[in-house]
Amino acid sequence: MPRITNLPHLAEQVFGVPQYATRQLMDSVKAVLIPRIHGVDGGTILALADDTPEREDTAPQQGGGVAVIPVHGILVPRRGQISRACTELTSYEKVRSQLQAALNDPAVYEVVLDINSGGGAVSGCKELADYIYASRSAKPITAIVNFNAFSAAYFIASACSKVVLSQTSGVGSIGVIMEHMEASRWEDQVGFTFTTLYRGDNKNNGSPHEPLSEQSRTFLQALIDDAYETFTTSVAQYRGIDVQAVIDTQAGLYYGPRAINAGLADELSDPQTAINNIAAKYRPQPQQKSGIRLRAAAIDIKSKM
């Protein structure tokens, strides 16, 4: 039976902090969260805990010298899951531990990140991406975009040795977004009054109990600017392109050949063919099998990592 998360704790991870996420992802999270904060049962239970059992389809899979690590759904710093919903969570912490296990396994010659995500949290994203970038010298790490790698997901993909996407796969959304939820009028209607006592001029910045002040807006904008500079300069470093070219994307979404022309991806291929070709490199020639069998060898064997 899923546990209902402490909603204030979940809300503080969504509102008032910078996010490497698409506008659509932010709206989908709010559609679930806001009704429950206001006491309306939206029919979805949010569970976010390190003791949540890992879903079978999010476990790393290994075979044929290739380890495939899923990077799906909303990206968060620590493990979690959204139950009874069509959305899942992947944590930076978990991806790093799976990647480290694959890098340390002598039977693994190449690591594949199977990515389908609209992004997520700023916290922890840069650290994982830097770890991926530094690990490229040990083993090839390929990002297969299957079928979206936007914002935080692209931050991670850009750090890989190679980015492969299909004709209809998308990358980009290199930007930062933040939502400030101002609930003072609703609190007036239900009879709530919050009195906040604090020391330090910036301690109460972004309070949801009052309209956003100019001081708060300046403070929060500085957080966004810092996160944006981190994102753009990192992508430029990982991809070996000019930072201005990254800025000029203006958080746009790039699909198929257009993504390659913009320097955001390297190769055009459907996901199955891409994983077949990677697996074929490490299959002894006399025992080489058909593409479908190779794909099964690469991603259907359960990993012991």
In the 8-state DSSP scheme, what is residue 173?
-
| CB-count exposure of residue 296 (10 Å: 0-12, 13-18, 19+) | middle
- Tell me what the pLDDT averaged over the chain comes to: 81
Taking the C-alpha atoms of residue 212 and residue 282, their distance in angstroms, rounded to an integer, is 57
Q: Which residues are catalytic?
A: 151, 203
Taking the C-alpha atoms of residue 126 and residue 5, their distance in angstroms, rounded to an integer, is 26
pLDDT tops 50 at residue 141: yes
Question: Which structure tokens are listed for 46?
Answer: 């949010």
What's the total number of domains in the chain? Answer: 1
Question: ∠40-41-46 over CA atoms, to 5°?
Answer: 120
pLDDT of residue 266: 98
- Which residues contact residue 224 at a Cβ distance below 8 angstroms, ignoring those fewer than 6 apart? 18, 176, 177, 178
Confirm whether 263 is domain-assigned: yes
Confirm whether 72 is domain-assigned: yes
- pTM of structure: 0.80
Q: 115 with 271: CB under 8 angstroms?
A: no
Give the pLDDT mean for 124-153: 97
Find the domain containing 61 and state its range.
Answer: 7-178+217-299
CATH classification at residue 231: 3.90.226.10
Question: Which structure tokens are listed for 236?
Answer: 């430029």
Confirm whether 199 is domain-assigned: no
Strands 170-172 and 267-268: unpaired
* Angular region, 73: left φ>0, alpha ψ -120 to 50, beta rest: left
Confirm whether 223 is domain-assigned: yes
Confirm whether 81 is domain-assigned: yes
pLDDT tens, residue by residue, 109-129: 999 999 999 999 999 999 999
pLDDT tens, residue by residue, 175-228: 999 987 777 777 778 788 888 888 898 888 877 778 888 998 999 999 999 999
Tokens 């503080």 label which residue? 12
pLDDT tens, residue by residue, 228-242: 999 999 999 999 999
Confirm whether 14 is domain-assigned: yes
Confirm whether 211 is domain-assigned: no
Say how far residue 113 (Cα) sits from the centre of its chain. 12
pLDDT of residue 101: 96
